[in-house]
Structure 1
Amino acid sequence: MNAPSATTDAGPAEPDRLDVVLAGTVFFDLVFTGFPQPPALGTEVFTDGMGCSPGGIANLAVASARLGLRTGLVAGFGDDLYADWLCRTLAEQEHVDLSHSRRFDHWHTPVTVSLAREGDRSLITHGHPTPVPLDELVGPQPPESRAVIVDVGDPRHREDPWWRRSAASGSLVFADAGWDPDERWGSELLDALEGCHAFTPNCAEAMAYTRTSSPEQALAALADRVPLAVVTCGRDGALAVDSSTGERARVPSLEVAAIDTTGAGDTFASALVRGTLLGWPLEHRLRFASLCAALAVQNFGGALAAPGWGDIADWWTATSNAAAEGRPGAAETLARYAFVHEHIPAQPGRVRRAEATIARFSDAAPSTVPGSPTLPVPEHDPRKDPS
């Protein structure tokens, strides 16, 4: 994947100002797919697929960077081999700015095993809190950015609201919630939305937090809290209200065969931010976000399943071919997404997917991540010389 240029079509570049800043925990994700049957105690199951990928807040970081947003990530990294791989993948392969991240001695990387099957997934995680609080990690002055994406469902972001300093500096804050593991659905989360530009929960979360019985009612309640309220409904699409422009929109989802839904919501949010920074109409923002999420779930691996512009270009070509062949609905889809075609770069580039083993960085430059060691590559690479 080629590094994004200093100026992207997300808007004019400003010196030392990123498009989007994120802060949180990065996980090493190990994803298994293709189960012949669910695993049971006392048995062993062989799967058809496996992949390694950055996870956690890295889902948002990679999705944003692949869409051309200059993305900065503030996170803690351990001193283990997992962290080496994560730092190199994010900085050198995905071009995420890690200059505000830190590595810590004697702290190991959190690990998540994802079991993806039947259109959903189960997660098994082991890890410890970052050695310093998130607010301290970000520092008194967050990196300057046009937007911030934050999970206000995470108590750390409410107790140490670093993103409010970003909002005071002019950043648009896009908030998400996530599932409340205690299922209390407390009002403190909605109160935390003060100063946020957008809130993007799924329909179950939106109805639970607003104590309403339909996505439409939940959207109406959330529209009183933030200028841009969005409720995602999975296969039923998404609906939104933007009071700053007076727009309302509802779009259907694209019908695809989902392999792994991990990170789909993060991809949706990143695409929504990109469309907002471009000043797109609300319907276009929702359609673009839905398209990117649909492309993401057709690959496994969370962060590395996020689409790049090459994937979007491939989708446009395939849909154009289907329309030329007279397949039902293809021509209508092309008409609805014509605005996307206008923004596909002339050379969209390709992205890497999750691989079964931790890939060797044979074509990467020396790491620029503070504290990340530069590892020599053996002169004899068996992948190139099978003899």
Structure 2
Amino acid sequence: MFLDVVMAGISVPPAPGEEVWATDRALSPGGIANAAVGAARLGASTALVTAIGDDEVGDLVSDMLGAEKRLSLAPSGRQRGMQTALSVALSTAEDRSFISHGQLDPIDLASEVDAVGHAATMFVALDLELPTWVRKRRAAGTTVFGGVGWDERHGWSDDVLTQLQHVDVFVLNEREALSYTRTSTVEHAISRLGEFVAMTVITRGPSGALAFDAGSGVLSESPGIRVRAVDPTGAGDEFVAALMRTASSDMAVADRLLFANLCASYTASGLGGAVSNPTLHGLESWLLGHRSEIAADTSAVSDLITAWIDDCGHADQALPSSPSQTQPTRKEK
């Protein structure tokens, strides 16, 4: 769980002793909150299980997330004396640099997880060993989605892949897939990962996404969506949230990938992660304006969005806006 401070529109990061001015900024809950907010905005009843400190950063994060409809923070207790993780992102036209502070995995979340009722889906970050509550949830009927981050701690250890036996769907990006499998092509990587897990999904940014069903041997693909990316922060998390949201639908896998790509592209076209995640109404409007940029049939996705809007009514609610100069057309009523 992070508070992200995004500073964008700078030409180069400051050298020691220098000061530069950004043209845009955004404050947003980050880390695991990206996926949680993403799922809630897409109409899913969502619980966020994480550690939030009792400091001023934790106050701000809690206030912002507390305004989000369908997102419960009840399982996420405030931790006395803990400093909530903070990450400052400096974004140039070419790349981003980060300065972060906080403690990874600050507490054992087992008791907090036990407080959550049955969940149709859940997301967990893979490590060398998964907590026992992941297996318990899966045995109770929850579909487990797993992901990985940039693995500088474990050096792309094979021990992480052995944890896939407790996961139903493994989602990672192309660079992570090639690093873990020690392969040179995404096709070889996804086939290799199919030896460990039933469904593997590899995201490829503007090149789209692939999914491999190990049981049937079917490889599904969705094209990328080329939009002007303002800030990629949280786009991968939004992809996972959207994929989880469609888990109970009867959509073809390729259409599920397309829906997830649409949601991720929407997030990347705004500044900040969770604060730029789409609501259903926002996604519907955005899709209408970007059909010419999508090299795929979007009818199944449009029908699904319409059905979900009808189910959810008009309860869409966005996080409070942070001070930002992001695209005015993205502001939602």
Shift of 1:287: 0.4
Residue 90 (structure 1) aligns with: 65
Residue 155 (structure 2) aligns with: 184
Q: 2:322 aligns with which of 340, 355, 361?
A: 355
Residue 328 (structure 2) aligns with: none
Taking the aligned partners of 2:112 and 2:287, their CA distance within structure 1 comes to: 41
Given that residues 64 and 320 in structure 2 are in contact (C-alpha distance below 8 angstroms), is that contact kept between their aligned partners in structure 1?
no
Residue 308 (structure 1) aligns with: 279
Mark the CA change 1:255 to 1:353 in structure 2 (over 3 Å): closer, same or farther: farther
Q: 1:238 aligns with which of 194, 206, 209?
A: 209
Residue 293 (structure 1) aligns with: 264
Given that residues 301 and 354 in structure 1 are in contact (C-alpha distance below 8 angstroms), is that contact kept between their aligned partners in structure 2?
no
Shift of 1:83: 1.7
Is 1:148 paired with 2:122?
Answer: yes
Is 1:340 paired with 2:311?
Answer: no
Given that residues 202 and 233 in structure 1 are in contact (C-alpha distance below 8 angstroms), is that contact kept between their aligned partners in structure 2?
yes
Is 1:80 paired with 2:65?
Answer: no
User: Is 97-106 or 264-273 further displaced after alignment?
Assistant: 97-106
Q: 1:168 aligns with which of 125, 139, 145?
A: 139
Shift of 1:290: 0.7
Q: Secondary structure at the match of 1:267?
A: helix
User: Is 224-233 or 116-125 further displaced after alignment?
Assistant: 116-125
Given that residues 203 and 215 in structure 1 are in contact (C-alpha distance below 8 angstroms), is that contact kept between their aligned partners in structure 2?
yes
Q: Secondary structure at the match of 1:277?
A: coil
Is 1:49 paired with 2:24?
Answer: yes
Residue 166 (structure 2) aligns with: 195
Q: Secondary structure at the match of 2:247?
A: helix
Please, what TM-score do these two structures have when normalized by structure 1?
0.76
Mark the CA change 1:131 to 1:257 in structure 2 (over 3 Å): closer, same or farther: closer
Taking the aligned partners of 1:184 and 1:93, their CA distance within structure 2 comes to: 37
Gaps of 5+ in 1: 1-25, 321-328, 358-387
Shift of 1:246: 5.6
Question: Which letter maps to 2:207?
Answer: D
Mark the CA change 1:39 to 1:354 in structure 2 (over 3 Å): closer, same or farther: farther
Question: Which letter maps to 1:263?
Answer: G
Larger Cα-atom Rg = 1
Shift of 1:355: 0.9
Q: Secondary structure at the match of 2:75?
A: coil
Provide the aligned length of Structure 1 versus Structure 2. Answer: 318
Shift of 1:137: 4.2
Question: Which letter maps to 1:30?
Answer: V
User: Is 283-292 or 37-46 further displaced after alignment?
Assistant: 37-46
Deviations 1:262-304 (A, max 9, x none): 1111001111111222132100011001111111100111111
Please, what TM-score do these two structures have when normalized by structure 2?
0.88
Taking the aligned partners of 2:41 and 2:91, their CA distance within structure 1 comes to: 23
Taking the aligned partners of 1:304 and 1:119, their CA distance within structure 2 comes to: 22
Q: Secondary structure at the match of 2:72?
A: coil
Residue 266 (structure 1) aligns with: 237
Shift of 1:316: 2.7
Mark the CA change 1:242 to 1:130 in structure 2 (over 3 Å): closer, same or farther: closer
Q: 2:180 aligns with which of 206, 209, 222?
A: 209
RMSD between aligned residues: 2.2
Taking the aligned partners of 1:284 and 1:163, their CA distance within structure 2 comes to: 28
Gaps of 5+ in 2: 325-333
